[in-house]
Amino acid sequence: MPAAQRCFESGVIDLLLKQPYRFEFFQAVRLIELWLRQNGIEDGPMPMRFIRFENSLSLTFPPSQIVALAAVADRPIDSAAALQAAQLENRLEYVAITPAFIGILGANGGLPYHDTERIAEYEFVNKDSGPRAFLDMLSTRSVALFYQAWAKYRPPCMIDAQGKDTFLAMLQAFSGLRPSAKPVEPAAPQDVCIGEEILAYYAAQFRSRCVPARVVAGVLTEYFAVPFTLEPLVGCWEDLPDQHRTRLGATNRVLGEGAMLGSCIYRRDSSARLFIGPLNSQEFERFLPHSEGARAISRVLGMFCGVGMTIDVRLVLRAQDARQARLAMDDASRRSRLDIDAFLDRRAARDRTTAHYVLQP
């Protein structure tokens, strides 16, 4: 049972209605906007029909960004339950917010102080708020545009009440992907589907003009949670197509410019070597050839280098996880795979790098 003096925690809307001075201006407007959208009120970029900004007639130093906040209906509203009931019964007219740092009147208003004094005196003597209501109508639009300009380029404000993230579509377009509401579909059944949030998270790294090897290794290390090391410019021999081979009497070739002897060429700009590890037995199984880990690595590397690159993947098995090869083992999980995780010699004190394969993203 709860204690006798236990205080029940109130909701954030209740606290906003009772103590608006404890909130910042943008925070309060954002909360009211989300509450209205969650309760079915949609009106363009912001439900302006239900949010109005009024001017303050006080010339004293403002202790907070908000002077007052009240929900206007046919009867007073002092709680979130009463606010929701008024909205469901169509009794809610609008939510009035009086900011202290912006507006036409008040200590920080755009008009001179004597205009605020005259309007305050007129309202006190005649009990008529008409002049201030006219200025409120003018300032509501400008304050609303000020809030929308603040929220336009802030990612937390780009998530609507239904959880749809408009900022994600921008990051997808920046990374070169088609924005979609579903995860990126694999190109083939054997490919790995990497979530669109992950690809959007690394959009800046994917589309950099020059990507250092340490950046590629850092992205792979962070995503797969195992050490990666990339060695660029690894030379390898490549077969030349027939149309690029030098033949006598076929095409004119100039020595030093286009003439080549042989059917192969040694290149360094189209290959790299990727070291993964040291890995334990479970992590080692994860990145073996034709596994989901290998296909995921190929997908991520394809976002960096595209087509035409050859990656020599080297799996580094920890020394304590390498075992000696044995025949006729009953346990399938401990069967020996020669030169992969089992070796003819005794267990050594160094890591093993014999397992390797080639990826072409």
Stretch among 14-18, 158-162, 169-173 having the lowest mean pLDDT = 158-162
- Kindly state whether residue 270 falls inside one of the protein's structural domains: yes
Nearest-angstrom CA–CA distance, 275 and 317: 11
Same domain, 109 and 180: no
Same domain, 188 and 268: yes
Same domain, 328 and 185: yes
Stretch among 9-23, 250-264, 290-304 having the lowest mean pLDDT = 250-264
pLDDT (0 to 100) of residue 88: 80
The mean pLDDT value for 223-246 works out to 86
Same domain, 127 and 176: no
Nearest-angstrom CA–CA distance, 84 and 267: 70
| Domain around 286 | 169-359
pLDDT (0 to 100) of residue 217: 92
- Kindly state whether residue 57 falls inside one of the protein's structural domains: yes
pLDDT (0 to 100) of residue 187: 44
pLDDT (0 to 100) of residue 185: 47
Top-ranked range on mean pLDDT: pick from 113-122, 181-190, 337-346: 113-122
Would you say residue 188 has pLDDT above 50?
A: no
Q: Do the strands 342-343 and 356-359 form a parallel or antiparallel pair, or are they unpaired?
A: unpaired
The mean pLDDT value for 234-251 works out to 78
**Which of 119, 137, 158 is a domain's end point?**
158
Same domain, 85 and 178: no
Same domain, 129 and 174: no
* Number of domains, the chain: 2
What whole-number percentage of the chain has pLDDT above 90?
A: 25
**Which of 128, 158, 188 is a domain's end point?**
158
pLDDT (0 to 100) of residue 190: 41
Same domain, 234 and 334: yes
Same domain, 180 and 138: no
pLDDT (0 to 100) of residue 233: 86
Top-ranked range on mean pLDDT: pick from 33-47, 76-90, 244-258, 286-300: 286-300
- Kindly state whether residue 36 falls inside one of the protein's structural domains: yes
pLDDT (0 to 100) of residue 191: 43
- Kindly state whether residue 197 falls inside one of the protein's structural domains: yes
Task: Name the CA dihedral angle for 273, 274, 280, 282, rounded to a multiple of 10 degrees.
Answer: -110
Tokens encoding 349: 């004190």
The mean pLDDT value for 247-261 works out to 72
Would you say residue 183 has pLDDT above 50?
A: no
Q: What is the per-residue burial (b if ≥16 Cβ within 10 Å, else e) of 263-285? A: eeeeeeeebbbbbbbbbebebbe
Nearest-angstrom CA–CA distance, 149 and 136: 20
Same domain, 338 and 302: yes
Would you say residue 253 has pLDDT above 90?
A: no
pLDDT tens, 191-216? 455 777 788 888 888 888 788 889 99
pLDDT (0 to 100) of residue 361: 79
Cβ–Cβ contacts within 10 Å for residue 84, how many? 16
Top-ranked range on mean pLDDT: pick from 22-36, 39-53, 69-83, 306-320: 22-36
pTM of the model: 0.60
- Kindly state whether residue 103 falls inside one of the protein's structural domains: yes
